[in-house]
Amino acid sequence: MSATADASLFDKVVNLAKRRGFVFPSAEIYGGFRSTYDYGPLGVLMLRNVKDAWWRAMVQERDDVVGLDAAILSPPAVWEASGHLANFTDPLVDCRECHERFRLDKLDDPDVCPSCGAKGSFTEARQFNLMFRTHAGPVEGAGHEVYLRPETAQGMFLNFKNVLETSRKKPPFGIAQVGKSFRNEITPGNFVFRTREFEQMEMEFFVPPGEADQWYEYWCRERHEWYLRYGINPELLRLRPHDADELSHYSSGTSDVEFLFPWGWDELEGIANRGDFDLTQHAKHSGERLEYFDQTSGAHYVPHVIEPAAGATRTMMAFLMAAYAEDEVNGEARTVLRLHHRLAPYQIAVLPLSKKDTLTPVAREVFTRLTPHFMCDYDETQAIGRRYRRQDEVGTPFCITVDFESLEDRAVTIRERDSMAQERVQIDDLLPLFRERLA
Ligand code: ATP
pLDDT tens profile 173-185: 999 999 999 999 9
Ligand 1 lined by 406 (C-beta under 6 Å):
no
| Angle separating helix axes 41-55 and 312-323, nearest 10 degrees | 110
Confidence at 269, pLDDT banded by 50, 70, 90: very high
Q: Report which protein residue has its CA nearest ligand 1's atom 3.
A: 267
Residues 304 and 386 in one domain: no
Ligand 1 and 267: CB distance under 6 A: yes
Give residue-wise pLDDT tens across range 211-222: 999 999 999 999
Helix ranges restricted to H, 307-383: 312-323, 360-370
Pair (168, 278) in one structural domain:
yes
| Protein residue whose Cα sits closest to atom 24 of ligand 1 | 194
> Of the segments 96-105, 353-362, 399-408, which one has the largest average pLDDT value?
399-408
Q: Does residue 35 form part of some domain?
A: yes
pLDDT, mean over the chain: 95
CB-based contacts of 297, cutoff 8 Å, min separation 6? none
Regarding whether 225 and 361 lie in a shared domain, the answer is no
293 and 398 co-located in one domain = no
Ligand 1 mutation pick, 47, 194, 319, max ligand atoms within 8 A of CB: 194
Same domain? For 429 and 293 the reply is no
* Nearest residue (CA) to ligand 1, atom 19: 311
Measured CA to CA, the distance from residue 149 to residue 224 in angstroms comes to: 26
Q: Is there an atom of ligand 1 within 6 Å of 185 CB?
A: yes
Please state the rounded mean pLDDT for residues 192-202.
97
pLDDT of residue 141 exceeding 90, the answer is: no
Does one domain contain both 255 and 379? no
83 within some domain:
no
Indicate the SS3 state at residue 124: coil
How many Cβ atoms sit within 10 Å of the Cβ of residue 412? 26
Residue 232 forms part of a structural domain: yes
Verify whether ligand 1 is closer than 6 Å to residue 88 (CB atom): no
Region 110-137: what's the mean pLDDT?
93
- Structural domains counted in the chain: 2
**Are residues 263 and 379 located together in one domain of the fold?**
no
Of 267, 306, 316, best ligand 1 pocket probe by most atoms within 8 Å of the beta carbon: 267
pLDDT at 54: 98
Query: 3-class DSSP state for residue 249?
Result: coil
Query: Which of 283, 303, 320 represents a domain boundary (last residue)?
Result: 320
Residue 409 lies inside a defined structural domain of this protein: yes
Does the beta carbon of 311 sit less than 6 angstroms from any atom of ligand 1?
A: yes
Instruction: For residue 311, report the distance from its CA to the centre of ligand 1, in Å.
Output: 6
Which atom of ligand 1 is the closest one to the Cα of 202? 14
Report the pLDDT averaged over residues 321-342. Answer: 95
Spatial CA neighbour of 308 closest among 425, 408, 409, 175: 175
pLDDT, tens digit (0-9, with 9 covering 90-100), for 278-301: 999 999 999 999 999 999 999 999
- ∠ CA 118-121-127, rounded to 5°: 130
Domain limits for position 298: 7-73+150-320
The confidence score (pLDDT) of residue 359 equals 95
Q: Is residue 184 part of a domain?
A: yes
Please tell me whether residues 177 and 297 are part of one structural domain.
yes
CATH of the domain at 363: 3.40.50.800
Confirm whether 359 is domain-assigned: yes
Indicate which CATH number applies to the domain containing 247: 3.30.930.10
Whether residue 120 lies inside any domain: the answer is: no
Considering the domain architecture, whether residues 263 and 309 belong to the same structural domain is answered as yes
Same domain, 373 and 307: no
- Centre of ligand 1 from the C-alpha of residue 262, in Å: 18
* Number of Cβ within a 10 Å radius of residue 331: 5
Reply yes or no on whether the pLDDT at 329 is more than 90: no
Distance (Å) from CA 360 to ligand 1 centroid: 48
Indicate whether residue 370 lines ligand 1 (CB < 6 A). no
Residue 311, in any domain of the structure: yes
CA 298/CA 303 separation, integer angstroms = 15
Residue 150 near residue 75, CB atoms below 8 Å: no
Q: Is the pLDDT of residue 350 over 90?
A: yes
Are 170 and 299 found together in one domain? yes
Task: Report the nearest-CA residue for atom 10 of ligand 1.
Answer: 151
93 pLDDT tier (thresholds 50, 70, 90) = very high
187 and 298 inside one domain: yes
Burial of 290 (0-12, 13-18, 19+ CB in 10 A): buried
Helix (H, G, I), strand (E, B), or coil: what is residue 311?
A: strand
Ligand 1 midpoint to CA 429 (Å): 45
Residue 1 has pLDDT above 50, yes or no: no
